[in-house]
Structure 1
Amino acid sequence: MIKLYGIAWSVHPLFVLVMLASIATGYFVELITLFAIVLVHEIGHVVTARGFGWTVREVKLLPFGGVAEIEEGANLPAREEAIVAIAGPLQNVWMGVLAWFMGFLGWWSHDWAIYVMQANMMIGLFNLLPILPLDGGKLLQAALSRIQPFHRTLVWGSRISLLLSSCMIIVSVVPVFRHPGGGIQANLLAVGFFLLLTNWTAYRHIPFLFIRFLTHRAAASSRSLEHGSWALPIIISRHHTIASALRLFKRDSYHLIVVMEEQGSIVAVLPEQRLVNGFLAEGKADRAVLELFM
């Protein structure tokens, strides 16, 4: 692990296995090139994230990109998350164009220029698959969070990622059944299993991820109050629990909780901080929201 500019950089064990396999098969130069492409891809994310003022704690490099740990978590604006996510594949665009240009000028051999172009295309396009924690998965999650509550975004983001990861594993073994003597696509199989296990773990940890979202909600609420913001009301009945109300929170919105009778009369209105603090302080998520006034 290396620490640069306050960020811990490390290589994931999956990348280490790829490195050892490349060295054993004599593809050392290709390995260094792949490592450089992945590193520049991830630097694109980090520079953009820090430009928005994010605190990047750690970056783990993988054969197809990297995974960054952000201190602020899920309360960052969806727009910023989308821009940071797309910043990685954009690095592959200019590197691919540069490789073509170098080949066109004759400064690189034709075969080497094609290899670097294809490597950038492969990494860039692969990262745009809508699977977490790939860039495409983050773009999907940012889009989902704009149209539905954040808890549902976590659930469906993980479910879609699990489904597509499973499809990747199936695709990797299809050649065995389609062609006599066909071999398994080992790289795709390994990556598919990695993504499947990562998303299965994330799916099981959704309650923890949602609590983390709520604990950082106070800072997001302070920003909304400081700059002025529209409030998005959440209308519930007197029988709604604190947990069910919290699961209606949207990522980039400030909420007022309106408790209403079936006849349409308003029983109570409280700011979202009251609901979040009531849950975090006592942890009784199955209490009725109305009990916060008693």
Structure 2
Amino acid sequence: MRAGKIAGVELILNNWFLILIAIFMAAGLVSKVLLIFSAVLWHESAHMLMAVGLGYRVKQVELLPFGAIARIDRLADAGAASEIMIAAAGPLASMGLAVLCYALGEGAGNWQEVLRFFTDINLMLAGFNLLPALPLDGGRILRALLSRRRDYRDATAIVVTISHITGGLLLAFAGVTFWLYNTLNLTMLIAAVFLFLTAQTENRLAGFRVMRILANKKAELTGSGIMPASHLTAMKTATIREIIRLFGSEEYYIVHVVDKDFKLCGALTETEIWEGLIKKGVKARISEFL
């Protein structure tokens, strides 16, 4: 549901977020709903400020049950370092606010209970978002770290598997709680279902990232006539799979191919490799592309 715009950024309330809010309101906890809403906005504002500071433009923010997703131009094509910085900003901001509220809560009189609840909410937001599951911040950080060593799609698939395991553990925890205490933890159930559904979406989107990155690079190079480049050196026997996993999103790559005596056999641009990949496949040797 669209809830308007804040500073030109469209605000959307996710259906799962609305369900969680409705549960709190049905229980007569309207004031706590407002505190949860403000905590989520604070968390997401940190993401947006970091993204803007790194030169990205924020178009839309969708509030989720335990955080939010900021839709930022070209963020999906960002390098690992940028993705880590943007993802980590939210949990750090939530933890910082929790520490401040805890410090202010001592001797706060009538406000002590409110500050204690706000502290708990921010700690929960930070802790939950640091779980290694997509689309949570922890999952994005883990995927960015893995993508430094392997293909982005492989990294996404690994984190999606971890996301499903995490969702299963949350579901099991809710079941055990119900069995032991006869109490149904709806929040935990919503979180588990949310992770199962959204993680699979991330897996489907990952396949389009490579082509988007290449298209953006070609557009930038064509438009400006120049862009940063990196050079790689590969033996003739190296496979294309081994080479493309080293390609980053923020530089254009040129691969120098050498033989066993380290004599230069030729050079290939990133575009030539991707275009040849369609015909020859990822298991082909780089020497077949010369």
Contact 1:234 1:255 in 2 (8 A): no
Q: Which residue of 2 aligns with 1:68?
A: 70
What pairs with 1:1-294 in structure 2 (closer than 5 Å)?
1=2, 2-106=4-108, 108-177=110-179, 179=180, 182-218=182-218, 230-235=230-235, 237=237, 246-247=244-245, 249-251=247-249, 254-259=252-257, 267-276=265-274, 278=275, 284=279, 286=281
The structure 1 segments of at least 4 consecutive aligned residues displaced by more than 4 Å after TM superposition are: 219-222, 225-230, 250-254, 258-267, 287-293
Identical-residue share of aligned pairs (%): 27
Once the two structures are TM-superposed, the CA of residue 274 in structure 1 deviates from its matched residue by 2.4
RMSD over equivalenced CA pairs, Å: 3.2
Contact 1:150 1:251 in 2 (8 A): no
Gaps of 5+ in 1: none
Contact 1:41 1:91 in 2 (8 A): yes
Once the two structures are TM-superposed, the CA of residue 46 in structure 1 deviates from its matched residue by 0.4
Distance 1:78 1:244, change over 3 A: closer
Q: 1:8, 1:285 → 2: CA distance?
A: 44
Once the two structures are TM-superposed, the CA of residue 265 in structure 1 deviates from its matched residue by 6.4
Q: TM-score, normalised by structure 1?
A: 0.82
Q: 2:123, 2:221 → 1: CA distance?
A: 40
Q: 1:65, 1:175 → 2: CA distance?
A: 24
Contact 2:214 2:271 in 1 (8 A): no
Amino acid at match of 2:85: I
Distance 1:162 1:266, change over 3 A: farther
3-state SS in 2 of match to 1:216: helix
Contact 2:5 2:11 in 1 (8 A): yes
Q: How many residues were matched structurally?
A: 285
Once the two structures are TM-superposed, the CA of residue 229 in structure 1 deviates from its matched residue by 5.2
Contact 2:276 2:289 in 1 (8 A): no
Structure 1 window deviating more from structure 2 (45-54 vs 63-72): it is 63-72
Q: 2:232, 2:160 → 1: CA distance?
A: 26
Amino acid at match of 1:249: F
Gaps of 5+ in 2: none
